[in-house]
Structure 1
Amino acid sequence: MKTKIIKPAENAHQFQLLIKSLLLSGKRCQPDNEIVFSDVIRYDYRTLYKRICKLANVLTSAGVKAGDTVAVMDWDSHRYLECYFAVPMTGAVLHHVNIRLSPDQIGYTMNHAEDSLVLLHDDFAVIAEQLDEQLPGVRGYIQMTDDQPVSTSLHTFGEYEALLDDAAADYDFPDFDENSVATLFYTTGTTGNPKGVYFSHRQLVLHTLNGASTFGSHEGQPLLRSDDVYMPMTPMFHVHAWGVPYIATMLGVKQVYPGRYDPNKLLRLRREEGVTFSHGVPTVLQMILDCDEAENTDMSGWKLLSGGSAATQALAQQMVKKGILLFSAYGMSETCPILTCTFLKHPERDLALSEQMPQRIKAGVPIGLVDIRIVNPDGTEVLHDGEATGEVVVRSPWLTQGYYKEEAKGEELWENGWLHTGDVASMDQNSVLEIKDRIKDVIKTGGEWVSSLELENLISQHDLVAEVAVVGVPDDKWGERPCAMIVAARGEEIDAASIQNYLQQFVDSGQINKWAIPQQIRVVMEIPKTSVGKINKKLIRTQVA
Structure 2
Amino acid sequence: MLGQMQDWKLTVDKVLEHAHFNHGNREIVTRSVEGPIVRSTYSDMYYRARKCSNALLADGVQKGDRVATLAWNTARHIETWYGTMCIGAVLHTLNPRLFPEQIAWIINHAEDTHVFYDITFQPIVEAIKDKVPSVKHWIVLTDQAHKPQTAMNIRTYEEYIAPHSTDVVWGDFPEDTACGLCYTSGTTGDPKGVLYSHRSNILHTMIGLQKDAIGIGAADTTLPVVPMFHANAWGLAFSGPATGSKLVLPGAKMDGESIYELLDGEKVTFTAAVPTVWLMLLQYLESTGKKLPHLNRVVIGGSAVPERILRAFEENYEVEVVHAWGMTEMSPLGSLGSMTANVLGQDHDTIMKYKLKQGRAPFGVEMKITDDDGKE
Structure 2 length as normaliser, TM-score? 0.91
Instruction: Select the residue among 307, 310, 331 that pairs with 1:336.
Output: 331
Pairwise CA distance, 1:292 = 6.1
SS in 2 for 1:236: coil
Does structure 1 residue 24 correspond to structure 2 residue 21? no
1:395-474 to 2 correspondence within 5 Å? Answer: none
Pairwise CA distance, 1:360 = 1.8
The aligned counterpart of 1:77 is 74
Does structure 1 residue 231 correspond to structure 2 residue 226? no
Higher RCO, Cα 8 Å, sep 6+ = 2
1:212-291 to 2 correspondence within 5 Å? Answer: 212=209, 214=210, 216=211, 223-260=215-252, 261-291=254-284
Between Structure 1 and Structure 2, which shows a larger proportion of strand residues?
1
Q: How many residues align?
A: 368
Preserved contact between residue 214 and residue 299 of structure 2 (Cα < 8 Å):
no
Letter in 1 for 2:317: K
Instruction: Select the residue among 296, 307, 311 that pairs with 1:302.
Output: 296
The one-character-per-residue Cα deviations of 1:162-188 (angstroms, maximum 9, x if unpaired) are 333322123221421211111111111
Letter in 2 for 1:209: M
Indicate the larger mover: 191-200 or 49-58.
Answer: 191-200
Letter in 2 for 1:36: V
Structure 2 unaligned segments of length 5 or more: list them.
none
Letter in 2 for 1:323: E
The aligned counterpart of 1:123 is 120
Distance 2:60 2:135 in 1: 11
Q: CA separation of 1:294/1:170 partners in 2, compared to 1, >3 Å: closer, same or farther?
A: farther
Q: Work out the percentage of aligned pairs sharing the same amino acid.
A: 31
Preserved contact between residue 184 and residue 199 of structure 1 (Cα < 8 Å):
yes
Does structure 1 residue 35 correspond to structure 2 residue 33? no
Q: CA separation of 1:321/1:40 partners in 2, compared to 1, >3 Å: closer, same or farther?
A: closer
Letter in 1 for 2:263: R
The aligned counterpart of 2:358 is 363
Does structure 1 residue 373 correspond to structure 2 residue 368? yes
Preserved contact between residue 87 and residue 172 of structure 2 (Cα < 8 Å):
no
Instruction: Select the residue among 293, 307, 316 that pairs with 1:313.
Output: 307
Q: CA separation of 1:372/1:294 partners in 2, compared to 1, >3 Å: closer, same or farther?
A: farther
Letter in 2 for 1:150: P
Letter in 2 for 1:242: W
The one-character-per-residue Cα deviations of 1:242-281 (angstroms, maximum 9, x if unpaired) are 1122011111110010101222111101110011111111
Q: CA separation of 1:354/1:297 partners in 2, compared to 1, >3 Å: closer, same or farther?
A: farther
Letter in 2 for 1:204: N
Instruction: Select the residue among 186, 189, 198 that pairs with 2:186.
Output: 189
Pairwise CA distance, 1:336 = 0.8
Preserved contact between residue 208 and residue 214 of structure 2 (Cα < 8 Å):
no
Distance 1:165 1:377 in 2: 59
Letter in 2 for 1:307: G
Structure 1 unaligned segments of length 5 or more: list them.
1-5, 382-545
SS in 2 for 1:82: helix
Runs of 4 or more off by more than 4 Å in structure 1?
350-355
Letter in 2 for 1:91: G
Indicate the larger mover: 13-22 or 366-375.
Answer: 13-22
Calculate the aligned-residue CA RMSD, in Å.
2.2
The one-character-per-residue Cα deviations of 1:377-399 (angstroms, maximum 9, x if unpaired) are 32101xxxxxxxxxxxxxxxxxx
Distance 2:10 2:349 in 1: 42
1:447-526 to 2 correspondence within 5 Å? Answer: none
Distance 2:63 2:172 in 1: 11
Letter in 1 for 2:181: L
Pairwise CA distance, 1:85 = 1.4
Instruction: Select the residue among 194, 197, 202 that pairs with 1:200.
Output: 197
